[in-house]
Amino acid sequence: MDPKRREGYERAKSEIRAVAEGESDAIANLANAVSILYDALPFTWIGFYRALGGDLVLGPFQGKPACVRIAMGKGVCGSAWEKGATILAPDVHAFPGHIACDPASRSEVVVPLRAPSGAIWGVLDIDSRQANDFDQEDVVHIEEIGEIVEGIVGRDARFLSQVV
């Protein structure tokens, strides 16, 4: 992995923790987290989807306009939600059932996000316009960011009651 990318991940982790310190509102913290990630990393779309009812519903994001609702099991995001596991799609156009919100997107990592109860409340979705742009080291860093976000969001019982 490029040292500059690794540095971006580490900076983002530190800044997300710092900006969320003392703030319990999940939406505010998610908005700041995605802004920090978008600034620190070379990806074209970064955002959160919230599990509301039977769909993932668009939350705070940076990048081009996105799909607003994604059904469970549909595309990379819906599949990660359904399986409860991170999905790395090296070429989204080869992913069964891929939803082309941005046709220029070529690779993607989606990490499910859990409440303290273990229930999945949403996903972190990161897209790149380059095929094969993510490797296992990216996945480890993105999952660590997901864990940070889970801890921060876990402080907002009002938010969690809406999504879990």
- Which sequence spans correspond to the domains of the chain? 3-163
Q: What CATH number was assigned to the domain covering residues 3-163?
A: 3.30.450.40
Are 86 and 111 spatial neighbours (Cβ–Cβ below 8 Å)? Answer: yes
Q: What is the pLDDT of residue 22?
A: 93
The residue to which tokens 């530190």 are assigned: 14
Confidence of residue 72 (pLDDT cuts 50, 70, 90): very high
**Residue with the two structure tokens 């660590």:** 144
Assess whether pLDDT exceeds 90 at residue 101: no
Predicted local confidence at residue 58, as pLDDT? 98
Q: Any residues with CB less than 8 A from the CB of 11 and at least 6 apart, and which? A: 40
Q: In the prediction, which pLDDT does 79 show? A: 97
Q: Name the DSSP class of 92.
A: G
Taking each helix axis from N to C end, the angle separating 3-20 and 136-153, rounded to the nearest 10 degrees, works out to 0
Whether 20 shows a pLDDT value over 80: the answer reads: yes
Q: Which pLDDT value is given to residue 103?
A: 80
